[in-house]
């Protein structure tokens, strides 16, 4: 199995997290590492672990970085894992991809402390306002402020630590930790790089559905320190992410209509 590992300002996470991911996988992982021009010691840490990462000349964003890594994957499944994700069980790799043959994408349950922060995705009947944390420069540093940036129908399911404990088909999953079947990748193509940082996972899941592949949620838990790299990023990276969310919001009505036309809508709303 391939493990796609994209780093950006991830020095501490690489040293602490990657050996844990590999050691608890329960199988031999072929790790495909790509670094997005990190200014910290991410590349050095990857090399300390015996890896030969692809080092980008500039930060090309999450989506293009993942696509670059997927080009080198040659197994049945590629698991994409953010550096700030940690497994909570041994043997997680084979458990994650124990799914029917028509499943092209499998997401996991992500937890923070006593909360499930991602238990699969849903599509609501009406848009909900979403907020974004943006950094603003102040003397001696910067301050992060909440901003309302748009509305969306594609939302994460969250809840208490015991929530979302059943495996099921869903409309989308986050790519912070996800398995992608390479047969599907070669059929439907790479992720949409016009979505630089965010929402390319939602787009890819809906594209899979439109091409007769299923998307599943598998309640194998991983701890996720969401946004650990983003907090160290330049404000321009934050702005690119906010633009991605606004772009996806503009696409949602058309995507929902396409899903309705092929009958992929019944359990998606709720």
Q: How many CB atoms lie within 10 A of CB 119?
A: 25
Quote the longest CA-to-CA distance of the chain. Answer: 56
Instruction: Please give the pLDDT value at position 125.
Output: 83
Q: At what angle do helices 200-210 and 235-261 cross, to 10 degrees?
A: 20
For residue 229, what are the domain limits?
Answer: 2-268
Instruction: Please give the pLDDT value at position 227.
Output: 56
Q: What is the pLDDT of residues 20-36, one digit of tens each?
A: 999 999 999 999 999 99
Contact 16, 42 (CB under 8 A): no
Find the mean pLDDT for residues 240-248: 93
What integer best gives the mean pLDDT of the chain? 92
Contact 268, 125 (CB under 8 A): no
- β-sheet bridge partners, residue 116: 111, 159
- Write the CA distances from 83 to 3, 8, 108, 192, 202, integer angstroms: 11, 9, 15, 21, 20
Domain count across the chain? 1
- The H-assigned helical ranges of 60-114 are 62-70, 92-96
- Residue 222's CATH number: 3.90.550.10
């Amino acid at each position: 199995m391939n493990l796609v590992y994209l780093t950006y300002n991830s020095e501490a996470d690489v040293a602490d997290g990657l050996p844990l991911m590999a050691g608890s996988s329960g199988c031999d992982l072929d790790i495909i590492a790509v670094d997005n021009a990190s200014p910290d010691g991410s590349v050095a840490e990857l090399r300390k672990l015996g890896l030969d990462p692809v080092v980008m000349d500039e930060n090309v964003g999450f989506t293009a970085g993942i696509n670059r890594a997927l080009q080198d994957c040659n197994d049945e499944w590629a698991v994409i894992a953010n550096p700030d994700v940690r497994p909570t069980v041994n043997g997680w790799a084979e458990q994650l991809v124990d799914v029917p043959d028509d499943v092209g994408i499998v997401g996991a349950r992500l937890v923070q402390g006593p909360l499930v922060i991602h238990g699969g995705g849903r599509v609501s009947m009406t848009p909900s306002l979403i907020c974004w944390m943006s950094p603003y420069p102040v003397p001696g540093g910067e301050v992060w402020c909440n901003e309302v940036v748009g509305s969306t129908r594609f939302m994460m399911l969250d809840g208490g630590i015991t929530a979302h404990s059943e495996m099921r088909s869903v409309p989308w999953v986050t790519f912070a930790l996800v398995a992608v079947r390479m047969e599907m990748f070669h059929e439907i193509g790479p992720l949409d790089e016009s979505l630089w940082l965010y929402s390319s996972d939602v787009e890819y899941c809906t594209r899979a559905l439109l091409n007769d592949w299923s998307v599943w949620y598998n309640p194998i838990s991983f701890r996720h320190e969401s946004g650990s790299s983003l907090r160290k990023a330049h404000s321009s990276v934050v702005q690119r992410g906010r633009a991605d969310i606004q772009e996806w919001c503009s696409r949602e009505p058309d995507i929902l209509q396409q899903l309705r036309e092929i009958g992929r809508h019944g359990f998606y709303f709720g």
